[in-house]
C-alpha cells in the first residue's frame, strides 16, 4: 500500500511537470486520493434568510504546472482555469509553490472548483509516508510594488485595489493551501508614502454562488479579503496572520470587508491582524458572522459609513454570533462619519453621506484585553466633538441589539468599558444593550454615553444622554 500511494504521488507530480494543464477525469483522480474533496462545511448555527444555490459535481480536472524557478506562473494558472471552466476542477499540486506576478481578471468563472491535489488526512500512521498530512501548495504574489500599483484592479471603495478579482457563478475555492501577499515590501513602502495603493490579497468581485473554504492567508499588503457586488457566498475555516518583520507596522490589514453584497456567511475563522476582524462596508445586507477567533484587531465593525457626500450607505440584517475577541481596540463597533467633512488621516477622510444602519445583532462575545467592549460613534474621523454635534450625521442607526458579552477590558480607558455616543438623538433609536458582564481592570463597568435615547437606563453612564 505504501508503494502504491507513493507511486500515485509520483504520477501526479509528473502530470504537473509535463502538462499545462493536465486534463483527466475528476472521478479518476478522486478515486486515487489525488484531488481534495469539497469540504462543504455545514452552515451553522445561524443562517441568513435565503437558501444557497446548489453546486453540481465537476467532470474534468486540470493540474497547474509550476515553473519551480521563481518565475511567473500566472499564464499557466490562467490556461488551466480557462480549460477547466464550465464544469472542471483546477488543481494546485501538493508541495508546489506558484508565483503570481501578473494581475489576473477571473470574473468570467462558471461552475468551477479551484483546489489542491492531495488529501491524506485519514492515512493511518502505519504507511509511514515521508510527507505531512493534507499536503498543500502555496501561491505567492511578487513584491514588485511598482508593477502592482500600476496594474492591480482598482475597486470603487476607499481606493481599494486587488491582486486579482475572482467572480462569476458557482465557484468553489478550497484545499488548505496558502496565499502569501509578500507584504513586507508594502509595509516598508507605506511607512514612507501613505498614498501608495496596496493590493488586497483576495478579491471576491461579482461572485454569485460559491464557497471559499479551508485556506491560509498570510502577509497581505492591506485588507486580506474584499467581497464586493456578490451574493450567496460562504466563507468557512479561514486562517489569517502576518505581521511586519521590521519597525514598520502592517496597517489596515482587515480580515474581511463586505461591500454591496447580500446573503453572505463568514464562519469558523481564526484572525490575527491589526485592523477590523470583519467590517461591513456600505450596502452589506443579510450577513451572518459566527464562530470567530479574533486577535489584535479593531473588532467586528459596521462601517465606516457615510464617508462619501451624496452616497447612500445601507447596512441591515446583520447577525454576529459567538466571537472570541482578544487584544483588540473594540469588540462590537459601529462607526459612522459625521455630517461635515472630517479627516481621520491623510489618506482617509470624508463625511456627509446618507443612509441607515438597521437590524444589527451582536450575540455572545468573550473579550479579553479589549479597549472598548462596545463602541458606537457617529463622529468617526472628527476629533472636535462640538463641531460634530453642530453637524450631526445624516445616517441613522436603529434596531441594534448587543447582548451576552463577558470578559475584561484593557487598561487604556479604565474605568470605562464602552463608548455609546451618537451625534444627535434624532438619528439614533432603539439601541438595546442586554446581559453585558464586562469589567474594567479596576472592576467598574462604566460607559461614555451621549445622544442615545434611553441608554442611561441600560448601562452605567458617566455622562447622561441628551435624548
Residue among 89, 119, 208, 298 flagged as catalytic: 298
Counting other chains too, the contacts that 130-133 makes at CB distance below 8 Å and 24 or more residues apart are 131/9, 131/94, 131/95
User: Which DSSP helix (H) or strand (E) runs through 10?
Assistant: helix 2-18
The answer to whether the CB of 102 falls within 8 A of the CB of 46 is: no
Question: CA–CA separation, 83 vs 101, rounded Å?
Answer: 21
Residue 275: active-site member: yes
3-state secondary structure of 9: helix
Question: CA–CA separation, 336 vs 422, rounded Å?
Answer: 9
Q: Residue for cell digits 509528473?
A: 14
User: Which DSSP helix (H) or strand (E) runs through 422?
Assistant: none
Residue 347: active-site member: no
Q: Which of 400, 383, 385, 262 is nearest to 333 (CA)?
A: 400
The Cα diameter of the chain in Å comes to 77
Question: CA–CA separation, 192 vs 324, rounded Å?
Answer: 34
- Indicate the DSSP class of residue 156: S
Q: State the CB neighbour count (10 A cutoff) for residue 306.
A: 29
Nearest 10 degrees: Cα torsion 287, 341, 345, 183: 40
The answer to whether the CB of 317 falls within 8 A of the CB of 287 is: yes
Residue numbers annotated as active site: 275, 298
Amino acid at each position: 500500500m505504501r508503494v502504491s500511494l507513493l507511486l500515485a504521488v509520483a504520477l501526479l507530480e509528473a502530470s504537473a511537470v509535463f502538462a499545462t494543464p493536465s486534463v483527466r477525469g475528476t472521478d479518476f483522480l478522486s478515486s486515487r486520493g489525488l484531488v481534495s474533496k469539497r469540504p462543504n462545511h455545514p452552515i451553522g448555527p445561524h443562517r441568513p434568510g435565503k437558501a444557497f444555490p446548489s453546486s453540481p459535481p465537476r467532470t474534468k480536472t486540470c493540474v497547474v504546472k509550476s515553473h519551480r524557478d521563481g518565475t511567473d506562473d500566472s499564464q499557466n494558472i490562467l490556461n488551466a482555469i480557462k480549460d477547466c471552466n464550465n464544469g472542471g476542477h483546477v488543481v494546485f499540486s501538493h508541495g508546489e509553490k506558484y508565483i503570481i506576478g501578473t494581475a489576473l481578471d477571473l470574473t468570467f468563472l462558471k461552475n468551477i472548483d479551484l483546489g489542491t491535489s492531495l488529501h491524506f488526512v485519514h492515512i493511518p500512521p502505519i504507511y509511514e509516508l515521508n510527507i505531512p498530512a493534507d499536503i498543500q501548495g502555496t501561491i505567492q504574489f511578487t513584491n514588485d510594488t511598482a508593477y502592482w500599483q500600476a496594474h492591480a484592479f482598482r475597486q470603487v471603495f476607499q481606493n481599494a485595489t486587488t491582486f486579482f478579482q475572482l467572480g462569476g457563478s458557482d465557484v468553489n475555492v478550497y484545499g488548505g493551501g496558502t496565499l502569501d501577499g509578500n507584504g513586507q515590501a508594502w509595509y516598508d513602502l507605506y511607512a514612507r508614502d501613505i498614498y501608495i495603493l496596496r493590493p488586497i490579497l483576495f478579491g471576491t468581485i461579482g461572485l454569485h454562488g460559491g464557497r471559499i473554504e479551508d485556506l491560509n492567508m498570510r502577509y497581505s499588503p492591506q485588507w486580506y479579503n474584499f467581497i464586493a457586488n456578490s451574493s450567496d457566498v460562504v466563507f468557512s475555516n479561514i486562517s489569517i496572520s502576518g505581521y511586519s518583520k521590521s519597525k514598520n507596522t502592517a496597517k489596515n490589514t482587515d480580515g474581511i470587508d463586505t461591500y454591496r453584497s447580500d446573503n453572505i456567511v463568514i464562519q469558523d475563522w481564526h484572525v490575527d491582524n491589526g485592523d477590523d476582524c470583519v467590517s461591513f462596508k456600505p450596502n452589506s445586507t443579510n450577513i451572518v458572522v459566527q464562530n470567530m477567533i479574533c486577535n489584535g484587531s479593531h473588532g467586528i465593525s459596521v462601517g465606516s459609513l457615510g464617508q462619501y457626500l451624496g452616497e447612500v450607505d445601507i447596512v441591515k440584517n446583520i447577525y454576529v454570533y459567538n466571537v472570541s475577541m482578544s487584544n483588540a481596540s473594540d469588540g462590537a463597533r459601529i462607526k459612522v462619519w459625521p455630517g461635515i467633512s472630517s479627516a481621520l488621516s491623510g489618506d482617509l477622510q470624508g463625511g456627509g453621506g446618507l443612509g441607515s444602519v438597521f437590524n444589527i445583532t451582536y450575540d455572545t462575545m468573550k473579550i479579553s484585553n479589549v479597549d472598548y467592549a462596545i463602541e458606537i460613534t457617529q463622529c468617526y474621523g472628527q476629533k472636535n466633538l462640538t463641531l460634530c454635534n453642530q453637524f450631526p450625521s445624516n445616517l441613522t442607526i436603529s434596531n441594534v441589539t448587543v447582548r451576552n458579552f463577558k470578559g475584561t477590558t484593557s487598561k487604556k480607558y479604565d474605568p470605562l468599558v464602552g463608548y455609546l455616543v451618537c451625534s444627535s438623538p434624532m438619528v439614533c433609536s432603539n439601541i438595546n444593550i442586554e446581559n453585558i458582564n464586562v469589567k474594567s481592570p479596576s472592576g467598574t463597568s462604566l460607559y461614555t454615553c451621549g445622544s442615545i435615547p434611553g441608554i442611561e437606563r441600560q448601562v452605567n453612564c458617566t455622562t447622561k444622554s441628551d435624548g
